Every structure is written in structure tokens, then in C-alpha cells.
Amino acid sequence: MVDTTTQQNINKQLFQKLELAYFCVDHSMVVKDVSSNLSQYGFTDVCEGGNIEDFVDFMVGLDSHTEIDLPLVASPSGIPISVSLLPSEEQLTVLIANASVQAEQRQKLQQQANENELLVYQQKKLMAELERASAELERKNLQLEEASRLQTSFLSGVSHEFRTPLTSIIGYTNLVRKDLRHVSEQMVPRIAKTDDSQSYLRAVQRSSKHLLSLVENLLDHGKLDSNEIVIRPKRTDIAEVFEDAAILLHPLSTTKNIEFEVETNFSSPAFAVTDDSRLRQCLINLVGNAIKFTDTGSVTLSVDWKDDILDVAIRDTGPGISEEDLQKIRLPFWQAADTGKAGTGLGLTITERLIEMMGGELRIESKLGEGTHVHFALPMPAAPEGDSPVEQTNAEAVPLKLLLVEDDSDIADLVWMMLSERGVDVVHVANGALALDALNDDSFDIVLMDIHMPIMSGYDAIQELRARGDETPVVVMSASAMEADREKAELLGCQAYLTKPVDVDDIMNIADAVLSS
């Protein structure tokens, strides 16, 4: 154990190395210690034994037990400073750092805002002058020809102002189209040679899923503090989950010319009860990080499932993580400054929370120059036999009449085509009001309802439908992944909630489950 005096000496050396000034006070605001460089910011009167509120204005009335950050404060010497109050049981440490750069940036932003405001004012003034000129011309009815000329000149100027950016837009668009045609012409021989169009479609699908996972990371970060993330376990082929992750991540390793191996210690299929989408999200985040930060060597994903425990380990031969950065790496938006790797810094934070919510714990071991080892274990009981989801094929088309309520025509056409191929009779309407009319005139086995639509929302339509006593099963299909929307749908008596993008198998499986029940 490090005693208090030794720790204080360590802190002083660290502050000096970081060029931070500081002073310490007890919880009655009496100064206990000051740094030697405090005077350079103009705090020359601060001395041990005095009351800090007599010397430093920004300390007046502050709670010594509360951690506070003051981003920009004027020091007595006129140097902009940032102040951080770090309370402990014994004292309050006040850190002072030079904030001249931040102040300069704020000043530039303010100057730019002032300039923008001036431009807006000048534009409004010009428009007011034009309106007064027009009113004056109309009131006096003088010099009609001149007024007509001015009007023509004005319209010509406006047309010119629009044509200039449009010319650039059209020109650059044509260039992009030419580039795409050139790339397509280069790709044709390869496609014809390999005759593997399906592989390219799968590549597009994998990239789309990867993009979706990045979006989900961002959404999930917003849900963490509000506890809106929900784990939804179901019967899952975990072997398929790991195969999906491997298919998605292999191109990333191939691009970097590093080896990526997946070692599984169970046979396929392997049915367990878990949230497959969250497990897949964790794998993509962790293995994706390993590949991203490994420039030479290999990344290995090892999986073992026995005794109702899923054990996952990811090892890489990357540069490793320093002990200092290892303490910070779990913080949201934090990334080591010298990696030069792009990213939001959210994946690890969200992954750790998801693993905890699924009953596991994330462990990270790493040393500089020796790579990184990430490990987690999840309780994962085997799924009961005979509980696999129902899959539909074209040969097993379901005699089903479905009302599709969707305002986006592109999505409506897509869903209509997918369901029609399965033999489903689909009727499409564009809002909740039209849905109520359709349900009043005809009967349907199930309703696939969007939420946010013009004229009448999906929620309002469902509420009105239930008020009529109509118990037609309703499945919500929405781009909103917020738990509040899902809960509202359940309260309104909806049978299921699908989040876009949806797969036709998901729709058919839910429709079969709803109608069977």
C-alpha cells in the first residue's frame, strides 16, 4: 500500500510533468498546499493557512465535496484557464491548466457566428429594401418599364445564383457516373471469369450489416444511461452466429493481409438460448477491434461451449495496450491518441455493458509489444428440442392475406415483392387512416403497420382499431429501435414488433407464430 504522503508526492510530480498548477484545500476551504507555478497565473496571494474564498473568486460558494469542471475561467494574470475540482475524503484538489488554445478557438467560433449573423442581417436588410422598392413602385405606378426591367434583372440574378451551384453539382455528378462506369467495366471481366455474382451480393450484405452495427452502437450508447437496452433471448444456433461473424470479418483481415482464424469446440448446429443479435454485435465489435489494431500477424477467435457456458477468447498479435491506456479504454469515446485508427470509441463500452447484461464479464489483458487477449464467458443453456423457428420457402407459401401500412413507397414496394414471392396476398396503403378504411371494407389475417406516417400515425390507427373492437393481429414494423416505442406497441395490444431493416423470413415466422396462437 502507498501511504498518503508518498501518493501526494507522486501526484505533485505528475502535475509538474503535465505542467499543471494546483492548490489543495480542506473541506472548510482552508488552503493546505499550493504548487510552485501557481503564481504564473496571477494567484500570488494564495498561501497555506488562508481561506481560499478570500483569494480566488470562482471558489466562492462552491461545494468542496462535488466534482466540477470549469472549462474557461479568467485568471488574475489574464491567462484563460480551465479548472477541475477533484474532491476526496480529506481535501479538495483544484487543478489549473492553460486554456489559451480553447479560448482562442471559442473566440474564432464566436467571430464566425458574428459574421454569419451579420450576413443574415444584411440579407434581411436587402430583402426589406427590395420589398420597400417593390411597394413604392406599385404604389406610385411610375416608370412601369423601369420596374419591369428591374424585375427581370432581379430574376436573372437569382437564376444565375441557382445555376452556378447546379452546374457544379451536375458536372461532378457526371464525373462520378463516369468513374463508376469505368470501375464497372473493369469489374466485368472478373465477374465473368469467376461467375460468382452471389459472392458480390453477399459482400454487399455483409457491408450493410457492418454499417448497421455501427449505427446500432451509436443508438445503444444513447440507451445505456436510460436503461432502454433489453436482452431478448431466444432459441439460437450459436454456430451460425459465429459463422456470420467470421464471414463478415474475414474481408477486413484479408485487406490487411493478416491471418484470421476461428476455432470452435462444438459441432454445428448448436442450439442455445441467447440474444443472437446482441451476441453477434459483441463479436463484431471485439474481433473488429482486434483486426483494426493488428497490422501484422494474426487474430484468433476461440469458442468453447460446454456445461451451459459459452467461453469466448480473442487473441491478436497487435501492438498491445499500455497499462495506463488499459485503465481508460473502457471509457466511451476514448481512443489512444497515437493509434491513428478511425472509429467512434463506443464499441468496447457498449460491448462490455451488453456482456454484463447477459450475465458475463469482459476481461482484457495486454502488454505493449505483446498483443492483446480479450475474454468473456456467458451463461448459455441449451435450447429445448423441437423449438426451432418455422422457416418458409417458395414451395411452402402460406395462404395469407396481409395489409401493409407503410408511407415510404420504396420500402412498401420491397416488402410487397418479398411477400408476394411467398404467396402472400398483400394490400398496401400509405397511412393509418387508409388502413382503417381498408379494414372496414375487407378482412385481413394480419396487419403489418409502420408507426410514423402522415395524416394518421400507426399508433393512432391501432388505438382506433382496438376501440372499434377489431382484434385483427397487428405487427409493428418500424425504423425506431427505442424501447419506449416497443413498450407502447405492446400496451396497444400489438402481437409483435419488428425493427427495420427486416427480413422476409422474420415477417413470415412472426406471422406464422401469431396466427398459430
Q: pLDDT by residue (tens digit) across 102-125?
A: 888 888 888 888 888 888 888 888
Task: State the Cα–Cα distance between residues 62 and 225, nearest whole angstrom.
Answer: 27
Residue type, 31: V
Question: CA neighbours within 13 Å on the CB side: how many for 361?
Answer: 1
Sign (positive/negative) of CA torsion 375, 379, 385, 387?
negative
Four-point Cα dihedral 103, 109, 114, 116, nearest 10: 180
Distances (CA, A) of 186 to 174, 179, 343: 18, 11, 31
The count of residues in the chain is: 517
The confidence score (pLDDT) of residue 162 equals: 42
Looking at the chain, the whole-number percentage of residues with pLDDT higher than 70 is 71
Q: Is the pLDDT of residue 222 over 80?
A: no
Instruction: Say which residue, 472 or 193, is predicted with more confidence.
Output: 472
Q: Is the pLDDT of residue 192 over 70?
A: no
484: left (phi over 0), alpha (psi -120 to 50) or beta: alpha
The confidence score (pLDDT) of residue 403 equals: 94
Poorest-pLDDT segment among 140-154, 393-407, 433-447: 140-154
pLDDT band at 432 (very low <50, low <70, confident <90, very high): very high
Q: What is the mean pLDDT of the chain?
A: 76
Asked whether 371 and 293 are in contact (CB, 8 A), the reply is no
> CA Rg, the chain, in Å?
32
The confidence score (pLDDT) of residue 485 equals: 79
Do the bridges between strand 372-379 and strand 309-316 make them parallel or antiparallel, or are there none, so unpaired? antiparallel
Task: State the Cα–Cα distance between residues 173 and 178, nearest whole angstrom.
Answer: 9
pTM comes to 0.44
Q: Is the pLDDT of residue 163 over 50?
A: no
Task: State the Cα–Cα distance between residues 510 and 494, nearest whole angstrom.
Answer: 12
Distances (CA, A) of 30 to 39, 41, 56: 18, 20, 12
Q: Which three three-digit cell numbers place residue 145?
A: 418599364
Task: State the Cα–Cα distance between residues 223 and 483, nearest whole angstrom.
Answer: 9
Looking at the chain, the whole-number percentage of residues with pLDDT higher than 90 is 18
Asked whether 320 and 368 are in contact (CB, 8 A), the reply is yes
Asked whether 43 and 94 are in contact (CB, 8 A), the reply is no
Asked whether 422 and 428 are in contact (CB, 8 A), the reply is no
The confidence score (pLDDT) of residue 381 equals: 92
The confidence score (pLDDT) of residue 250 equals: 84
